[in-house]
Amino acid sequence: MPSSSSSVANKPKRIVWLDYARALAILTVIICHSTEALYSFTLEGVARTSTVSQICEFTLFTIGRLGVPLFLFMTGYLMLDRQYDKNACIRFWKTKWCGLLLATEIWIVIYDLFLSIVNHTPLDPLMLLRNMLFLEKVAMGHMWYMPIIIGLYLFLPFIANGLKQLDDARLLKFPLGIMCLIVFLVPVISILFQCFGNNGFVSLIADGFSGGAYGCYLLIGYCVKKKLFEKSTTKALVVFGATSFVVTVALQMLAYEKMVLAPVWYNNGLLMVAGLCLFVLLSRLTVAKEPRAIWALSYYSFALYLVHFPVKMILSPLVAIWGLPNHLIAVLALSSIVLVVSLAICYLIGKIPVIGKRMLYLK
């Protein structure tokens, strides 16, 4: 979301394990939004459910939350280990940044039209303009990400050149380590403080030059590319990743039990560690060939991100009234249907001459 994808003609040059990572990332994003659609994440809603149901709810939700970290790690992995001269910078802004902005603006218009139809309200031109100028959030739960990645992309060539000039990722250990404590550890401690009757808090140290939590994800992805984690054993990664995942789920359950509204977000250090361990493990995959399904999910991953949310909004009320045995089965059913329908829509849009690939930012 976006990370670099090759065209069909360049398929032999693709990095197979990254295709698996993209495929997994978009699947988890769809699971996340399907979980939000069918489970209640209000304090009262969670309190009414059993412990087993809460475990399923927060496990599915945490699995879903791994998608964005994977996408951000991939962006840093692919795009920060490059040299950008003047022409490369201009080319990057013309093709990638402007292309991303164009696709975003097209979908803002589509989303506002969609919302006016489903809500039976007239289209508000002023609100549409505010949405397109990024002065107001689009009322679609996944669109928070687009202003983030557009902002990060703007100065990405300069960050890459700075890293290339130093050419030693180990130098990042000190500043990145400090910043990770600030942007990832402080929020976890704040939640724990709130759980035990204290006020929450935030760090006052400026994180602007790091890009905040999202910039740190990119820089960590770059560190993976530069093999800073190569000495970590597979067993250690599995143990640390699984432990971080389980504790992330447990922390959410504790927070809701203590009446603290704290669904996991991307500044949660436990989630970041779980995602990082998963990403490093994926980087060690030695797969010579990939199934067509994995290639398709990878190629259309960003397109699926754009398309799936309105599809989910249409289908979730239908799945909710099917009378399936439990929410877990309902989430899996909804996720599967949304994936298939969205993939078909992406394929059809991609076939529109001239504009199709631009709409979906297909590369």
Q: What is the pTM of this model?
A: 0.94
pLDDT value of residue 2: 64
CA 265 to chain CA centroid, Å, is 11
pLDDT digits (tens, 9 = 90+) for 330-343: 999 999 999 999 99
CA 334 – CA 1 distance, rounded (Å): 22
How crowded is residue 179: how many other Cβ atoms within 10 Å of its Cβ?
22
Average pLDDT over residues 320-339: 95
* Amino acid 8: pLDDT: 39
pLDDT in tens, 17-43: 999 999 999 999 999 999 999 999 999
Task: Write down the pLDDT at residue 287.
Answer: 81
124-158 residue pLDDT tens: 999 999 999 999 999 999 999 999 999 999 999 99
**Confidence (pLDDT) at 6:** 39
**Res 289: pLDDT:** 81
Residue tagged 């001269």 (tokens): 85
- Average pLDDT in the chain: 94
DSSP 280-298: HHHHT---S---HHHHHHH
Per-residue pLDDT band at 363 (split at 50, 70, 90)? confident
Instruction: Write phi, then psi, for 198 (nearest 5 degrees).
Output: -105, 170
Closest CA to 96 of 4, 178, 227: 4
- Provide the 10 A C-beta neighbour count for residue 202: 11
Spacing of C-alpha 194 from chain mean position: 27
For CA atoms 86, 88, 94, 99, give the dihedral sign.
negative
Q: What is the mean pLDDT of residues 298-317?
A: 97
| pLDDT, tens digit (0-9, with 9 covering 90-100), for 196-215 | 999 999 999 999 999 999 99
What is the end-to-end Cα distance of the chain in Å, rounded? 12
Whose structure tokens read 């050419």? 167
Q: Which amino acid type is present at position 213?
A: A
- Model confidence pLDDT, tens digit, residues 150-181: 999 999 999 999 999 987 889 999 999 999 99
User: How many whole angstroms separate alpha carbon 182 and alpha carbon 150?
Assistant: 23
- What pLDDT score was predicted for residue 288? 75
